[in-house]
Structure 1
Amino acid sequence: MPRTPAAAPTDEPTGTVAPGGPGAALGHGLRTRHLTMMGLGSAIGAGLFLGSGVGIATAGPAVLVSYAIAGVLVVLVMRMLAEMAAARPASGSFSVYAEEALGRWAGFTLGWVYWFTLIMVLGAEITGVAQIVTGWAPGVPQWVVALVVVVVFAVVNLSGVRKFGELEFWFALIKVVAIVAFLVVGVLLVLGLLPGTDPVGTSNLLGHGGFAPAGVGGIAAGLLVVVFAFGGIEIVAIAAAEAQDPQRAVGRATRTILWRILAFYIGSVAIMVLVLPWDAPVLQQGPFVAVLEVAGLPGAARLMEVVVVIALLSAFNANVYGTSRMAYSLAGRGDGPAVLRRVSGRGVPWVAVLVSVACGVVAVGLNAALPDALLGILLNAVGAALLVVWVLVAVAQLRLRPRLQAEAAARGERMSLRMWGYPWLTWLTLAALAGVVVLMLADPAARGQLLSTAALVAVVVGIYGVTALVRRRRAVV
């Protein structure tokens, strides 16, 4: 049953509980700069450095349309999420808001679907790192590299949220500086201002089958990769619960990171499709490195490979954080094993972290069994699941906005952050998301992913039904 405003769901403990107990509180050591870089770090990973090449191969230069559509949608969805997070910061974020708006089933479903999605992303990040590192040292098996990554970042995430935030800040800063440098080099290359180069013109952009060689279906198929690429930015709302000043921090962080990510993605991909033919095999192997080699900067290309590894490690680090906090929140609301609620003396949900890491170990095993095929499988497995997250965020914001506004007015205040053009822009966002679904249905590969996501949601809803039935029977007894 949906809960009343007076009984709004929360994943924060009430009362004082001894450290390490199942209701102990999380730490509050994150600052605004940590949240900003965490959002950048989570979203700028495999989706940009590796997935962009897959997207270009799928849609051709028209993948820029895919990025633009997804970029506008993610700006709008994140604004809705930031509105709710600023009013009610919670480590379960959108799962908590969905529960309050639509009922416990929605919070359970959204939380566990998102958790599963991030676990898939963890596998993609590990695989990307392993592929690059074994290229440097061919004698090292991919699974060994993956196992080292899992162990190191388990230690990082268990060391406390403040240390995690600092490491993520510097990780993300390195790749932001690298992307800016890539954009500068790319613009000089496009204009023919580098030694031994001429202006590239539009032959690659409009040739080789045209701007959209695969048509609308290609754009739709490209959206799967694009949606995955932007996924991760919502971790800012999850981390707001551990910020020192949640309302101020989440507002500033979301305002700054959204436009930066759009510029990084669209700018980088535009350079790629201008400099090289969209069907060039090197774009799929490593799009950033391929462009820098055309620029005659082989040393910079090797440096970019190092940056790609750092970017993937950063995203992996942030996603371990996201999965553990979502599991912690679900457990706190009675929708997961109580043991996931245990918190260390450093304010870290250590059991939830170890469970996420254990799932990373499973991905290590998949690395050993499918070292070449795994990345493509995982990149395609999560796009439609993120669309489910976005839809429920928009629906929750539609339902909660009047309630949050009334609560602020009762306190003699105004909401610190509000969605633009409510409710019409929220409805328009939902219509656009429905349009994305229609486009995906028109493409056979995208249709399969959509059906797989529908099956995943159905399974999670079924699990909720079983657990709800068990709770009711225990209550009767």
Structure 2
Amino acid sequence: MTTTRSERPNGELAQGFKPRHITMLSIAGIIGAGLFVGSGHAIASAGPSAIVAYVLAGLLVVLVMRMLGEMAVASPDTGSFSTYADHAIGPWAGFSIGWLYWWFWVLVIPIEAIAAGVVLNNWFPQFDAWFYALSVTILLTLTNLFSVSKYGEFEFWFAMLKIIAIVAFIGLGLVALAGLLPNREVSGLSLLLETKGGFMPNGWTMIIGALLTTMFSFVGTEAVTIAASESKDPARNIARATRSVIWRISIFYFLSIFVIISIVPWNDPLLPVQGSYQRALELMQIPYAKFLVDLVVLVAVASCLNSSIYIASRMVFSLAKRSDAPAFIGKTSAVGVPRAAVIASTFIGVLATIVNYFAPAQVFSFLLATSGSIALLVYLVIAFSQLRMRSILQRRNVQLEFKMWLFPWLTWAVIAFIIFALGVMFVMPQHRAEVTSTLALAGLVLLLGKLNERRKHPQPAVSAHRA
């Protein structure tokens, strides 16, 4: 067989990620603009008890990552949970959750591009925000079209800058709370209980409601199992990243949110407008707070945009390899990059960006609503897949090197919690549209998945003449 220069044999992906790339990718996956900006909305709606929403979301992510790690260490695959759902539940499940996840990340592309465009427009108003949004998207698409190691290097340094910023913020906040900042006073821990309404000013349901915001911030942690398949030792890298997810979430989310709610009153009217980090820095009287946060946000959204293109392209590439997407998307370049998958994913993301700027606002809002609860559906499918996959692997006498804790009780607890959270969100007016839109989209994709399964595996015709 002759192999052309433009296509690797069998559409193989290159193993270009180094261990340090995987480590930083696993960290970068949970540090996005949602932490720097979106956390302000969660705190403003749930009050100090927003930290409970972050604890619940963090615990959920830790458990889901443990389940996903069990499957990924046993069988690394670029399709990750979509492939496992295909094997454990059925082809329709892998098809449905794969396309829903792809849709989620395709919509993250315009969200991050728009955020970057706004920051750059504030600094350099000579050009409109849409021009910057489009330029950043094109630039980061180009980084994804070269070798995967180039993407890994970009994301490595993006992640490093985000880590430095968060550690510096937490350190500065703790110094301020200890009263060690000269000529500056902050409210301190009394804000947790003594601000109007106390710790839970809007009731426990707002904690569940804040989960939607917090879950959006955490989505991306699971992408390390996608990236690890393009490294030389995927099982070891997945296990290492999964084990470290607990301390990463604890430091970057819990500590920073604790610092914020100890410095910024939850009912501060500027909190949801300026974002939690900027408002905290302003109350600590740190000069150039807005510029500093805008700089960090720009790095964060560029990182998330970069990762969005990567994750979306790998998921649709995996779908194509299973005949669940057009075949040309499953091809790779000479350096092992699925360029058609990258271009197709970015093209849809750019269309969504154009819709945001030039179509009625309700159109883009509707598109966003359809992805609002996809993270919870993905985690639900991972849990069900792990239940089924464990029994499949046991029947094959496969010795698991990495296992879910307290199986199957914690797995069932995760399933019950997700269903409960979706139910609470459905009865809350402010989240009903998002849950309904996501479930409607899921139903449509599920129907397409069933039709695709029948196309791939048609039922044999029944003979009219039986013996």
Fold match by TM threshold 0.5: yes
Within 5 A, what are the aligned runs for 1:93-132?
Answer: 93-132=80-119
Say whether the 8 Å CA contact 1:45–1:125 is kept in structure 2. no
The answer to whether the aligner puts 1:77 opposite 2:60 as a matched pair is no
Helix, strand or coil: the match of 1:329? helix
Selected match of 1:268 from 256, 262, 266: 256
Say whether the 8 Å CA contact 1:79–1:418 is kept in structure 2. yes
User: In the superposition, relative to structure 1, how do residues 139 and 373 fare at CA in structure 2: closer, same or farther (>3 Å)?
Assistant: farther
User: In the superposition, relative to structure 1, how do residues 80 and 473 fare at CA in structure 2: closer, same or farther (>3 Å)?
Assistant: closer
Say whether the 8 Å CA contact 1:46–1:124 is kept in structure 2. no
Match of 2:308 in 1: 319
Distance 1:196 1:378 in 2: 48
The answer to whether the aligner puts 1:217 opposite 2:205 as a matched pair is yes
Say whether the 8 Å CA contact 1:42–1:316 is kept in structure 2. no
Deviation at 1:370, TM superposition (A): 7.0
Selected match of 1:147 from 134, 147, 150: 134
User: In the superposition, relative to structure 1, how do residues 377 and 36 fare at CA in structure 2: closer, same or farther (>3 Å)?
Assistant: farther
Deviation at 1:24, TM superposition (A): 1.8
Match of 1:404 in 2: 393
Say whether the 8 Å CA contact 2:369–2:438 is kept in structure 1. no
Match of 2:12 in 1: 25
Segments of structure 1 that go 5 or more residues without pairing to the other structure are 1-14
Helix, strand or coil: the match of 1:281? coil
Within 5 A, what are the aligned runs for 1:59-78?
Answer: 59-78=46-65
User: In the superposition, relative to structure 1, how do residues 471 and 428 fare at CA in structure 2: closer, same or farther (>3 Å)?
Assistant: closer
Deviation at 1:438, TM superposition (A): 2.8
Match of 2:280 in 1: 291
Deviation at 1:196, TM superposition (A): 1.2
Amino acid at match of 2:249: I
Distance 1:336 1:460 in 2: 13
Say whether the 8 Å CA contact 1:105–1:464 is kept in structure 2. yes
User: In the superposition, relative to structure 1, how do residues 273 and 16 fare at CA in structure 2: closer, same or farther (>3 Å)?
Assistant: farther
Within 5 A, what are the aligned runs for 1:50-449?
Answer: 50-206=37-193, 207-284=195-272, 285-299=274-288, 301-369=290-358, 381-407=370-396, 409=398, 414-449=399-434
Deviation at 1:328, TM superposition (A): 0.4
Distance 2:82 2:429 in 1: 31
Amino acid at match of 1:348: V
Distance 2:306 2:2 in 1: 30
Q: Which moved more, 1:308-317 or 1:134-143?
A: 134-143
Say whether the 8 Å CA contact 1:70–1:227 is kept in structure 2. yes
User: In the superposition, relative to structure 1, how do residues 474 and 398 fare at CA in structure 2: closer, same or farther (>3 Å)?
Assistant: closer
Q: Which moved more, 1:451-460 or 1:54-63?
A: 54-63
The TM-score with structure 2 as length reference comes to: 0.92
Deviation at 1:43, TM superposition (A): 2.1
Helix, strand or coil: the match of 2:320? helix
Distance 2:2 2:140 in 1: 30
Q: Which moved more, 1:189-198 or 1:365-374?
A: 365-374
Q: Which moved more, 1:52-61 or 1:462-471?
A: 462-471
Say whether the 8 Å CA contact 1:62–1:211 is kept in structure 2. yes
Q: Which moved more, 1:423-432 or 1:133-142?
A: 133-142
Distance 1:379 1:204 in 2: 33
Helix, strand or coil: the match of 1:205? helix
Deviation at 1:46, TM superposition (A): 2.0
Deviations 1:371-391 (A, max 9, x none): 999998777653411111001
Match of 2:465 in 1: none
Deviation at 1:247, TM superposition (A): 0.8
Helix, strand or coil: the match of 2:44? helix
Distance 1:383 1:191 in 2: 39
Distance 2:226 2:166 in 1: 26
Deviation at 1:318, TM superposition (A): 1.1
Deviation at 1:245, TM superposition (A): 0.2
Distance 1:373 1:193 in 2: 48
Q: Which moved more, 1:328-337 or 1:436-445?
A: 436-445
User: In the superposition, relative to structure 1, how do residues 452 and 377 fare at CA in structure 2: closer, same or farther (>3 Å)?
Assistant: closer
Distance 1:374 1:180 in 2: 38
Amino acid at match of 2:303: S
Amino acid at match of 1:164: Y
Deviation at 1:361, TM superposition (A): 1.1
Deviation at 1:205, TM superposition (A): 2.6
Segments of structure 2 that go 5 or more residues without pairing to the other structure are 462-467
The TM-score with structure 1 as length reference comes to: 0.90
Deviations 1:278-323 (A, max 9, x none): 1223322222122112222223552332111101111111111100
Deviation at 1:215, TM superposition (A): 0.9
Amino acid at match of 1:269: I
Match of 2:464 in 1: none
Match of 1:3 in 2: none
Distance 1:293 1:379 in 2: 31
Helix, strand or coil: the match of 2:16? coil
Say whether the 8 Å CA contact 2:369–2:437 is kept in structure 1. no
Deviations 1:264-291 (A, max 9, x none): 1122122222211212233222221221
Distance 1:18 1:416 in 2: 39
Deviations 1:35-59 (A, max 9, x none): 2211222321122112111211221
Deviation at 1:461, TM superposition (A): 1.2
Helix, strand or coil: the match of 1:50? helix
Distance 2:112 2:360 in 1: 13
Distance 2:260 2:324 in 1: 45
Say whether the 8 Å CA contact 1:91–1:239 is kept in structure 2. yes
Identity of aligned residues (%): 41
Deviation at 1:473, TM superposition (A): 6.4
Q: Which moved more, 1:256-265 or 1:350-359?
A: 256-265
Deviation at 1:199, TM superposition (A): 5.0
Deviations 1:73-97 (A, max 9, x none): 1000001101111111111000000
Pairs aligned (count): 458
